[in-house]
């Protein structure tokens, strides 16, 4: 199986993210192996709850694999839609959704003061994830059938690599309850102290900006 996504060579940012993602995935596998060891054989550096922190950081880093795939899928969508429609659907509207969500969350404008407030809240919540899903689907469709021959194994391989990213989006952006991951996130932010704000910004970019980057 290939370890490089098709088209990544034309995007230096995606290429860097891809290799960082592989490092994160290797770290995640290593954490899984360590978790299976008896307590007295766990390395000291990973003892006393530090394994959870390292696993969470590895998961976040491995999600760069999926993030890169989404970026490449969005590039294909943009080319298919054309510059004007692509910019509107893939950039302007997701940014408008993000701005509206931030304004409502800050309480600057009460939600019930907006006309058709229920529809607006629903659209701002689900439109960006819908763009993300469409971008990922475009990428996986392309990798599965790059020309005329269907390559199902290749598509399944890349789909598996996007799992860490999909999990992060589900938990952080869509509030899907995953108790272990939510607890690990809190423990990680507490453990890294002064770096927690930067990490939260990075996570917000990964799960929120994928629908309106580029």
The predicted model gives 118-146 an average pLDDT of 84
What is the length of the chain?
214
pLDDT number for residue 62: 93
**CB burial readout 166-205, b (16+ within 10 A) else e:** bbbbbbbbeeeeeeebeebbeebbebeeeeeeebeeebee
* Three-class secondary structure of residue 100 per DSSP: helix
Could you read off the pLDDT of 55-91 as tens digits, one per residue? Answer: 888 988 999 999 988 888 988 899 899 989 988 888 8
pLDDT at 9 over 80: no
Give the residue-averaged pLDDT of 188-193: 71
Its pTM stands at 0.75
Which has the minimum average pLDDT: 62-76, 128-142, 176-190?
176-190
Residue linked to tokens 């000291």: 44
């Amino acid at each position: 199986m290939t370890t490089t996504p098709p088209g990544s060579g034309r995007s230096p940012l995606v290429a860097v993210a891809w290799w960082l993602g592989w490092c994160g995935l290797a770290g995640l596998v290593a954490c899984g192996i360590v978790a299976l060891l008896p307590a007295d054989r766990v390395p000291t550096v990973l003892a006393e709850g530090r394994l959870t922190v390292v696993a969470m950081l590895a998961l976040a880093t491995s999600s760069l694999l999926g993030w890169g795939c989404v970026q490449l899928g969005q590039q294909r969508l943009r080319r298919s839609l054309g510059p004007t429609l692509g910019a509107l659907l893939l950039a302007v509207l997701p940014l408008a959704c993000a701005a509206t969500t931030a304004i409502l969350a800050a309480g600057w404008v009460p939600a019930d003061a907006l006309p058709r407030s229920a529809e607006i809240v629903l659209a701002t919540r689900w439109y960006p994830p819908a763009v993300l899903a469409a971008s990922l689907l475009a990428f996986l469709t392309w990798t599965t059938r790059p020309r005329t021959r269907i390559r199902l194994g290749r598509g399944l391989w890349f789909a598996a690599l996007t799992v860490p990213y999909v999990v992060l989006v589900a938990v952080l952006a869509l509030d899907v309850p995953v108790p272990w991951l939510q607890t690990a996130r809190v423990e990680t932010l507490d453990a890294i102290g002064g770096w927690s704000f930067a990490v939260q910004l990075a996570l917000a970019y990964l799960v929120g900006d994928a629908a309106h980057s580029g």
